[in-house]
């Protein structure tokens, strides 16, 4: 094996995975159990081998080391959350996995093979190492090489064991529609903390990402262990602390309502679960995840185009003349992509009808979409469309023709959410329908962008058949079909960019990010609320995929009045979009907005490709500040936001990060014009950014000289 990433010490039966700054150690102990022993700062593996041994506390805890099993099955003396739970043909529910061997597929990929002691069930554990990011991506293959079917009741992607700490603090995100990605901290005590979704997609209420530290880590320092799961359906992450102060994180597809049959000769592959470690605090954790996503997950490296979306200007009242007028106004601003949202198809005059009928409405577009597309492209912009392919209104031609295409139970009246049902993508004919209409749409028109939305959870997860298949997980098949559709569309239309939206941020994870160029974090576009949403988002996900809009003031969601500068600065922290009704803007607003858009285009490479540093949070102060540093270190951008000034208090100096200490930087955007400072002064003395009143903001630009 290569010494670059993986070393196997045969005499010790010990594996070491190396990354740039870390060691990850596990091996086979004297009982044949594959036991994890260390994950953290780089260490000498051979000197750590003494940790690889069994340990008994009493007859009630006969094999304590199984709490740290690298990939444990349900059975024997293991009582922690299992990685794999199965039922064999003869009714046996005990799984005894034994180490068989290993192989190196590449210098940075390790595959461990396990097999049940009696049955012909094989497990292959895959480790892919990302050296510079200090990350390990894991997944498993479960193979049934017997002649009998096996029922899989739970299959997790990986188990991450943490070192012994005095305290354990879990950081995760929670939320709801219009309030996604809210950061939470929980001190772990003995027992389990479960993060999950049972709604059919990733969900707004939790996200499959975690971080654990000893309670003392902050943005710039401290040891942090973290991970993110790549699955866009029902998922589960279980953080378990045992009575022996061992913490283990197990994650994968949620076993809720999802036992499935593994037929003779069949193989099933889990989603991937990527984990990492840093001693550089939560900030460095985020930068490692962002770097990984940009280099190894995202389907393209293209920058997000400045887009205009017509939803808030017209809602369902979409027609060609009005859209052309909006396009002319958008082009005047410097917009690069014009997107028509809901209402262009079928008899779609509200959310009560037309969904599923994917033909251009002839009354709204008498000459088809081409008339509008020609206008948009002649104005120098690209054209995009909104779709919601996974749902159908009962009042639609599609539903009247195929009422059996939705999820339903034969003895139950289906639940309507937003006046719609969910299509059963697990049916081959439904999957083909979605693929066919999307292919026809993208083949017929010059469309360069698709906003793929879904506005309801899955309910009644069955079929109209009188007899429901017992071991066929509809929850899993839906996501697999969705991935296959997206993969095929990307293959057929490589120049079309896709956005993942689910009533806001309910489908954002490393699974969908293999296919989506960008994501929509929340339907809440209030610029002040978005600061908290975008902060939580940035802990796990990169700004280069995050779309942010400038919308109306007062805002329709909460009535808050914000200056145009604040709204633009908030929306310039990822991919910039405009969603206001431009028909209501004054010439002065057009002039001001055009300046911000031009500024954004100048700083876009720094924001989308650079390294992100969270300097101050609204969770801890009345102001927030975020910095981006270009990959070459030549430029930096700082956004600063004030909530409200009280008692005449002045803003404290904001210390920057990630600069070269002895380099000089030209600073533009401060009171008094352009200034010059050394990097070490900017990082240790800081910038005096003058913000006053309510909802003031500043954009500061730095250039190394």
For the annotated catalytic residues, the residue numbers are 453, 523
Rounded CA-CA distance 383/332 in Å is 16
Element (H, E) at 497: strand 497-500
Tokens of 51: 């940790």
Q: Which residue has the tokens 């240790």?
A: 684
Contact 463, 470 (CB under 8 A): no
Tokens of 71: 């990939």
Rounded CA-CA distance 49/30 in Å is 12
Write phi, then psi, for 348 (nearest 5 degrees): -95, 85
Contact 270, 174 (CB under 8 A): no
Q: Which residue has the tokens 């953290």?
A: 40
Distances (CA, A) of 19 to 40, 54, 62, 129, 173: 10, 27, 34, 7, 27
Contacts of 220 (CB under 8 A, 6+ apart): 280, 281, 283, 657
**Helical packing angle, 527-540 and 281-292, nearest 10°:** 80
Contact 596, 580 (CB under 8 A): no
How does strand 135-144 pair with strand 267-269?
antiparallel
**Sign of the dihedral through C-alpha 331, 553, 323, 386:** positive
Q: Which residue has the tokens 């969904």?
A: 355
Rounded CA-CA distance 97/120 in Å is 11
Contact 127, 138 (CB under 8 A): yes
Contact 230, 272 (CB under 8 A): yes
Contact 142, 262 (CB under 8 A): yes
Contact 7, 18 (CB under 8 A): yes
For residue 497, is it left (φ>0), alpha (ψ between -120 and 50) or beta? beta
Tokens of 49: 């081998």
How does strand 209-213 pair with strand 169-174?
antiparallel
Q: Which residue has the tokens 């989603």?
A: 271
String of DSSP letters for 428-463:
HHHHHHHHHHHHHHHHHS---EEEE---S---S-S-
Contact 158, 275 (CB under 8 A): yes
Tokens of 327: 């396009």
Tokens of 209: 């990402």
Rounded CA-CA distance 182/168 in Å is 20
Tokens of 30: 């004297």
Q: What is the CA radius of gyration of the chain?
A: 27
Tokens of 343: 């209402």
């Amino acid at each position: 094996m290569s010494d670059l990433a993986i070393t196997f010490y045969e005499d010790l039966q010990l594996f070491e995975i190396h990354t740039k700054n870390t060691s990850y150690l596990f091996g086979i102990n004297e009982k044949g159990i594959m036991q994890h022993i260390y994950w953290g700062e780089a260490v000498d593996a051979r000197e750590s081998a003494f940790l690889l041994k069994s340990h008994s506390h009493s007859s009630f805890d006969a094999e304590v080391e199984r709490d740290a099993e690298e990939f444990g099955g349900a059975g024997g003396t293991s009582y922690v959350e299992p990685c794999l739970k199965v039922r064999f043909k003869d009714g046996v529910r005990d799984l005894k996995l034994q180490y068989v061997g290993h192989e190196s597929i590449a210098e940075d990929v390790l595959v461990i093979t396990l097999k049940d002691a009696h049955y012909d069930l094989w497990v292959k554990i895959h480790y892919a190492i990302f050296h510079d990011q200090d990350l390990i991506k894991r997944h498993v293959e479960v193979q049934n090489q017997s002649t009998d079917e096996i029922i899989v009741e739970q299959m997790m992607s990986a188990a991450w064991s943490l070192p012994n700490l005095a305290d354990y603090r879990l950081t995760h995100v929670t939320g709801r529609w219009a309030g996604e990605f809210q950061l939470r901290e929980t001190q772990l005590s003995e027992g389990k903390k479960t993060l999950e979704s049972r709604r059919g997609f990733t969900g707004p209420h939790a996200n499959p990402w975690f971080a654990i530290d000893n309670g003392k880590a902050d943005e710039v320092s401290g040891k942090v262990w973290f991970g993110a799961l790549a699955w866009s359906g029902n998922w589960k992450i279980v953080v378990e602390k045992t009575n022996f102060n061992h913490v283990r994180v197990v994650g994968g597809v949620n076993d809720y309502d999802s036992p499935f049959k593994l037929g003779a000769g069949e193989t099933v592959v889990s989603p991937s679960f990527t984990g990492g470690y840093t001693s550089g605090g939560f900030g460095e954790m985020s930068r490692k995840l962002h770097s990984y996503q940009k280099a190894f997950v995202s389907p393209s490296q293209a920058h997000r185009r400045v887009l205009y979306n017509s939803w808030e200007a017209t809602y369902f009242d979409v027609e060609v003349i009005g859209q052309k007028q909006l396009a002319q106004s958008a082009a005047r601003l410097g917009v690069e992509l014009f997107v028509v949202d809901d209402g262009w198809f079928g008899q779609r005059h509200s959310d009560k009808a037309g969904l599923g009928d994917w033909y251009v409405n002839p009354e709204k577009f008498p000459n088809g979409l081409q008339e509008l597309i020609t206008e948009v492209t002649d104005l120098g912009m690209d054209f995009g469309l909104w779709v919601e392919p996974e749902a159908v209104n009962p009042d639609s031609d599609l539903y009247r023709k195929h009422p059996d295409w939705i999820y339903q139970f034969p003895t139950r009246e289906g639940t309507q959410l937003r006046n719609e049902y969910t299509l059963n993508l697990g049916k081959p004919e439904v999957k083909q329908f979605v693929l066919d209409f999307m292919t026809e749409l993208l083949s017929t028109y010059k469309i360069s962008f698709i906003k793929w939305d879904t506005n309801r959870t899955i309910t009644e997860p069955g079929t109209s058949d009188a007899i429901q298949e017992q071991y066929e997980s509809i929850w899993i098949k839906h996501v697999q079909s969705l991935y296959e559709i997206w993969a095929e569309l990307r293959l057929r239309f490589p120049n079309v960019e896709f956005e993942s939206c689910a009533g806001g941020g309910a489908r954002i994870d490393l699974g969908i990010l293999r296919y989506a160029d960008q994501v929509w974090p929340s339907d809440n576009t209030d610029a002040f609320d978005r600061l908290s949403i975008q902060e939580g988002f940035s802990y796990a996900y990169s700004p280069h995929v995050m779309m942010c809009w400038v919308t109306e003031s007062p805002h329709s969601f909460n009535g808050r009045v914000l200056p145009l500068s604040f709204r633009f600065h908030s929306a310039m922290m990822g991919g910039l979009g405009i969603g206001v009704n431009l028909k209501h803007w004054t010439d002065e607003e057009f002039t001001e907005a055009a300046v911000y858009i031009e500024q954004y285009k100048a700083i876009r490479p720094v924001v989308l490709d650079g390294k992100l540093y969270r300097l101050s949070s609204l969770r801890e102060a009345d102001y927030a500040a975020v910095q981006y540093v270009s990959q070459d270190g030549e430029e930096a951008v700082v956004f600063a936001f004030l909530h409200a000034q009280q008692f005449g208090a002045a803003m404290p100096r904001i210390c920057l990060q990630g600069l070269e200490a002895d380099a000089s930087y030209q600073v533009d955007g401060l009171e008094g014009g352009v200034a010059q400072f050394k990097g070490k002064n900017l990082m240790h003395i800081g910038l005096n950014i003058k913000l006053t009143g309510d909802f003031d903001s500043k954009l500061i630009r730095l250039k190394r000289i």
